[in-house]
Structure 1
Amino acid sequence: MQTERTQFRVADTCTANCSLVSYNRRDFYKITLTLAGKSVLYYANKAIEINRPALVFTNPLVPYSWEGNHEATVAHFCVFTKEFLQENGRVHSLEESNLFKVGGDPIYFLSDEQADYINSIFTRMKLEQESDYIYKNDLIRNHLNLIIHEAIKMQPAIAYFTPQKASSRIAKLFLDLLERQFPVDSQQYSLLLKKASDFADQLAVHVNHLNAAVSEVTGLSTTQHINNRIIAEAKSLLTHTDWNVAEIAGSLGFGYASYFNNFFKKHTGLTPTALRKIL
């Protein structure tokens, strides 16, 4: 029996029930409410100091990390898929929204009144999540939209600064973002980021700046890293799945199997079919 795919979860930091059985970070958007303390959020190539109540919106395709005692400052967070929020077509593309779009402003600082209000919404979402009400997902979706619309009415934070060792950080972000696309575990999935410019767009940096940083730090070009990772995944799929070559090509973002064959042979000296025969 196939387990139903989880599309939403709300929890407090460090609570046991915040794990997702079918969680895949590349599929989930996240909203975090912080209420006190100090931390720094590194989001793409930006760094933002958080020293008062704030809402933080993170995109599944943009790497981020926290510095400081983040867990002690977070009150609630929720993760959700695009499909959960967009059910019945009521919400426009999340990737293009001001809250989640690449290069957008992910942090919205709150007044005490706003923090209390949004804190109460998170509390209600947690209660509904544990209830047996048959339409609880509709209620949760409404609460989630309330949070989103409250943020849309606010002015975003603009106190960004450039982290030290910018080249090292950009290179790490690129490698994190590259690895986040793998493993390819479904024929319905296709790589979204296949060129250096795709990664530069996600990280909100110029492609030349990205290429220079990656080359400086790793000794390999951005394209070499991308190609090496795609080849490694292709070999894994050829070895561990019964997918045919066309299915593997599609899942790796190649429009035609012939393009994949040529790419694979160029980098390995063998066609995918020839490699599979000797494995």
Structure 2
Amino acid sequence: MKKHPLPDKKFFDLQAQNQFNVQQYASSGSLEATPYNRRDFYKIWVLIGKSILHYADRSIEINQPALIFTNPLVPYSLESKVAARKGYSCIFTEAFLKAGGRIEHLQQSTLFKTGSDKVFFLDKTQLAAVNRIYEDMMTELATDYVYKYDVIRNYVNLLIHISLKMQPALSSAPHANAAARIAAMFMELLERQFPISSPDRELKLKKANDFAKSLSVHVNHLNHAVKEVTGKSTSILISERITHEAQALLKHTDWSVSDIAFSLGFEYPTYFNNFFKKNTGVTPLSLRR
């Protein structure tokens, strides 16, 4: 039987090193709410330290160690109630888990699906077990083992299965300044999609309904909050941002108009041409001349 050598470790590292990271963290000082802004990354993290996790129209008080699952399409901010907090975190792309044969779409997963809170409070035994998994992930990541990312995927899946056995914490009542928070998180979610870095990367959120679904609010509620805070409708703000990005791509890239149209979510170039002319008064090609 012909023997096949093991694949070069660098092949696997280059494929996965930008799709996963794990760390132990400790922070102190500022008590201001801080947003999480890593695009395209799912996150599973342990938080120790009294805090409030803010979503668009709801908040969750963290008053004991917690295991938290977050989706890159759902913006949030963390307000610390103490000067120091600590824990562990791992971030990964959907492609990272799919490479291990986990074919369920993460956005539809029970733990990452939009519209649900995924905060699990941990007792001492559970905290010790979860912390041990993170320590094992960090140890494995530092090794030279050729299949270390397969091992790490198993650890991530273990965190997922441990959590599926638990009940999530309940949200507190909506924040008094919900309109301002909804508008701010809408703007953050809108900005997360830009700049467009590749013509193969299509805009995911293009309409008010798309944003409302990601923020888990009714579209009318979203429109009212955004209009109240910004003075502009949700649709106008989306159109303005897409127009601004289109102008930048036309001026600073050599992409074809068709590629730009696709990346900005237009099914046909003619739709993009009509949209661009309506919002700027000129055609895409004339802007490039």
Q: Aligned letter for 1:26? A: R
Structure 2 partner of 1:29: 42
1:217 aligns with 2:229: yes
CA RMSD of aligned residues (A): 1.7
Structure 2 partner of 1:8: 20
Work out whether residues 14 and 71 of structure 1, in 8 Å CA contact, stay in contact via their aligned partners in 2.
no
SS class of match (1:161)? coil
Structure 1 partner of 2:206: 194
1:87-139 alpha-carbon deviations (Å, 9 max, x no partner)? 14324111011111010122011121111000000000001111111111011
Unaligned runs of 5+ in 2: 1-13, 28-36
TM, length-normalised to structure 1: 0.92
2:239 to 227, 230, 252: 227
Q: Distance in 1 between matches of 2:173 and 2:119?
A: 14
Q: Distance in 2 between matches of 1:32 and 1:54?
A: 8
Inter-CA distance 130–63: structure 2 relative to 1 (3 Å threshold) = same
Q: After TM superposition, give the deviation of residue 164 of structure 1 in Å.
A: 2.1
1:93 to 105, 115, 118: 105
Work out whether residues 98 and 105 of structure 1, in 8 Å CA contact, stay in contact via their aligned partners in 2.
no
Q: After TM superposition, give the deviation of residue 26 of structure 1 in Å.
A: 2.2
Q: After TM superposition, give the deviation of residue 72 of structure 1 in Å.
A: 2.8
Q: Distance in 2 between matches of 1:12 and 1:146?
A: 18
Q: Distance in 2 between matches of 1:120 and 1:260?
A: 52
Q: After TM superposition, give the deviation of residue 53 of structure 1 in Å.
A: 1.2
Q: Aligned letter for 2:201? A: Y
Q: Aligned letter for 2:123? A: S
1:251 aligns with 2:272: no
1:176-206 alpha-carbon deviations (Å, 9 max, x no partner)? 0000000001111011110001100000111
Q: After TM superposition, give the deviation of residue 5 of structure 1 in Å.
A: 6.0
Q: Share of identical aligned residues, percent?
A: 54
Inter-CA distance 200–159: structure 2 relative to 1 (3 Å threshold) = closer
Q: Distance in 1 between matches of 2:235 and 2:97?
A: 35
Structure 2 partner of 1:130: 142
User: Aligned ranges for residues 91-240 of structure 1 at < 5 Å?
Assistant: 91-240=103-252
- Give the number of aligned pairs: 267
SS class of match (1:73)? strand
* Runs of 4+, deviation exceeding 2 Å: 2-5, 69-74, 88-91
TM, length-normalised to structure 2: 0.89
SS class of match (1:92)? coil
1:196-244 alpha-carbon deviations (Å, 9 max, x no partner)? 0110000011101100110010000000100000000000000100001
Q: Distance in 2 between matches of 1:192 and 1:240?
A: 22
Inter-CA distance 106–161: structure 2 relative to 1 (3 Å threshold) = same
Work out whether residues 32 and 74 of structure 1, in 8 Å CA contact, stay in contact via their aligned partners in 2.
no
Inter-CA distance 153–91: structure 2 relative to 1 (3 Å threshold) = farther
Work out whether residues 45 and 67 of structure 2, in 8 Å CA contact, stay in contact via their aligned partners in 1.
yes
Q: Distance in 2 between matches of 1:58 and 1:98?
A: 11
Q: Aligned letter for 2:138? A: K
Q: Aligned letter for 2:287? A: L
Work out whether residues 26 and 85 of structure 2, in 8 Å CA contact, stay in contact via their aligned partners in 1.
no
Q: Distance in 2 between matches of 1:7 and 1:87?
A: 11
1:260 to 261, 267, 272: 272
Work out whether residues 203 and 264 of structure 2, in 8 Å CA contact, stay in contact via their aligned partners in 1.
yes
Stretch moving more, 240-249 or 86-95: 86-95
Q: After TM superposition, give the deviation of residue 13 of structure 1 in Å.
A: 1.7
SS class of match (2:205)? coil
Work out whether residues 13 and 71 of structure 1, in 8 Å CA contact, stay in contact via their aligned partners in 2.
no
Unaligned runs of 5+ in 1: 16-23
Structure 1 partner of 2:69: 57
Inter-CA distance 79–5: structure 2 relative to 1 (3 Å threshold) = same
